[in-house]
Amino acid sequence: MDTEATVIDACDLKMVDPDKVAAVRLSLPEADDVVELADVFSLLGDPGRLRLLMSLLEGGEMCVCDLAATTAMSESSVSHALRLLRAHRVVSVSRRGRMAYYRLDDGHVRMLLDLGLTHTGHTVAIHPEVTGGDL
């Protein structure tokens, strides 16, 4: 194997299989896209936010105080978490009076949650794929 046939990047390290490295590297998404995707996963990587999102997945539309009661978090924490989620368009708000009602607003995240629940062996009941959420 020629180890210096293709100089792809600034710092090319020693490789065992340069062809595969080149091929795989080309198949990877842009750096920005990877970071963005990691960001989404990271959003789901916190137990508090995960409980929040699963609550919304089940409850459909809930206000901050109910979310706090459901997830056993402080209302401040919930608000902070919700703001983050909102910034990433994962949830959306409808304000009525002084209440703020949140709901899941991302189909992909919904599927990610669903798949994740399956991963843990916790079989989720049925949940409408659309933005229903009546219970």
Partner DNA sequence: TCCACGTCTGATTAATTGTTCAGACGTACC
Partner DNA sequence: GGTACGTCTGAACAATTAATCAGACGTGGA
Task: Report the nearest approach of DNA to the CB of residue 42 (Å).
Answer: 6
DSSP for residue 2: -
37 in the Ramachandran plot: left (φ > 0), alpha (ψ -120 to 50) or beta?
A: alpha
Neighbouring residues of 120: CB distance < 8 A, sequence distance ≥ 6: none
Site string for DNA, 29-48 (x = CB under 7 A): -------------x--xxxx
List the one residue from 20, 23, 76, 118 that touches DNA (CB under 7 A).
76
Contact 45, 29 (CB under 8 A): no
Task: Report the nearest approach of a copy of itself to the CB of residue 83 (Å).
Answer: 18
112 in contact with a copy of itself (CB under 8 A): yes
Residue 119's nearest CA partner among 41, 65, 67 is 41
- How many residues sit in the footprint of a copy of itself (CB under 8 A)? 69
128 in contact with a copy of itself (CB under 8 A): no
Residue 104's nearest CA partner among 134, 133, 66 is 133
- Binding stretches for a copy of itself (CB under 8 A): 8-9, 11-18, 20-21, 23-25, 27-31, 33-47, 49-51, 54-55, 58-59, 62-63, 65-66, 68-72, 75, 99, 108-109, 111-112, 115-122, 124-125, 133, 135
